[in-house]
Every structure is written in structure tokens, then in C-alpha cells.
Amino acid sequence: MLYTNVCRHCHAVFRAKIQTTCCKKCRPKDDHQLDDIVAYLHRYPNSNALQISEELGIHPYVILTYLEDGWLEQSHGTFSRLDDAKNGQS
């Protein structure tokens, strides 16, 4: 069985044995973007899609698509407030 797919980058329609969102021609671009996102998240683990988008120039929709496709995981961390420098020295 062959699936009809549409590439998320060049919007070309292509057929493949699996359902995929990227054609063979755009696969290197897709891999490069994903590697950049993962590297950024290792440096700044609490970043959201808009922060990643602004820093790397990748559209937030693409980042969310990676998340929906299972290439990225969503974590639910906690934040704590740091003491002010003045309050910490008193």
C-alpha cells in the first residue's frame, strides 16, 4: 500500500510506503532543523516554541509539528523564585 503525502517544506505531493511529512529532497533540511532544536533545548531546557522560533528562525508551527509527530517530548517542570540579591545578602 502506498500513501499520498505532502512535504511540509516544499509542499510537493509524493507517494511513499509510510506516512511521512517530508520528501526525500527536504529530509536533510528537516534533520538539520530538528538537530538545531534539540541542541537549543539541551542548553535552555525550559524554552517554549516561541522562544525557540525567535532564536533559531524556525516557524513555531514547524516546532509544534515535531512535537505532535513525537520527535520532541513535552516536559512539565516546576519553577521556583530566586531570592533577590539584596534579600539574599541580609
Q: What angle do CA 52, 74, 38 make, to 5 degrees?
A: 45
Q: What's the maximum distance between 2 C-alpha atoms anywhere in the chain?
A: 71
pLDDT grade, residue 3 (50/70/90)?
very high
By C-alpha distance, which of 35, 14, 32, 34 is closest to 23? Answer: 14
Asked whether the beta carbons of 5 and 16 are under 8 A apart, the reply is yes
Summarised one tens digit per residue, pLDDT across range 31-48 is 999 999 999 999 998 889
The answer to whether 49 and 64 are in contact (CB under 8 A) is yes
Residue type at 18 in one-letter notation: I
Length of the chain: 90
pTM of the shown model: 0.71
